[in-house]
Amino acid sequence: MITGKLTAKGRTTIPLPVRQALRLREGDEISYSIEGNGVTLRKGPDTGAKAPFGTFNEWDSDADRTAYRDL
């Protein structure tokens, strides 16, 4: 099990193994699903096809994320 701590302001750092497993990068959105007394963390909001360029892996570079960040 991977653990972390919560700050007084309700913040936490997502541990490196989790960030690597989800391939999270700065600026990525994450979504939470509350399930009983637990929570599931997922990369990106649960928007399916609504996420722009979500299915186009060839547009997944740092330059592309910078260019499309404010869309």
Q: How confident is the model at residue 62 (pLDDT cuts 50, 70, 90)?
A: confident
- Section 2-13 average pLDDT: 93
Q: Is residue 45 part of a domain?
A: yes
Q: Is residue 5 part of a domain?
A: no
Collect all residues with Cβ–Cβ distance below 8 Å to 33 and sequence separation of at least 6: 39, 40, 42, 46
pLDDT of residue 66 exceeding 90, the answer is no
Q: Is residue 2 part of a domain?
A: no
In tens, the pLDDT along 17-60 reads 999 999 898 888 999 999 999 999 999 875 444 555 555 666 66
- Section 9-19 average pLDDT: 93
**Partners of 30 in beta bridges:** 43
Q: Is residue 52 part of a domain?
A: yes
**Partners of 1 in beta bridges:** none
Q: What is the pTM of this model?
A: 0.57
Q: Which domain holds residue 59?
A: 16-68
d(CA 21, CA 44): 14
Q: Is residue 29 part of a domain?
A: yes
The amino acid at residue 41 is L
The total number of structural domains that make up the chain: 1
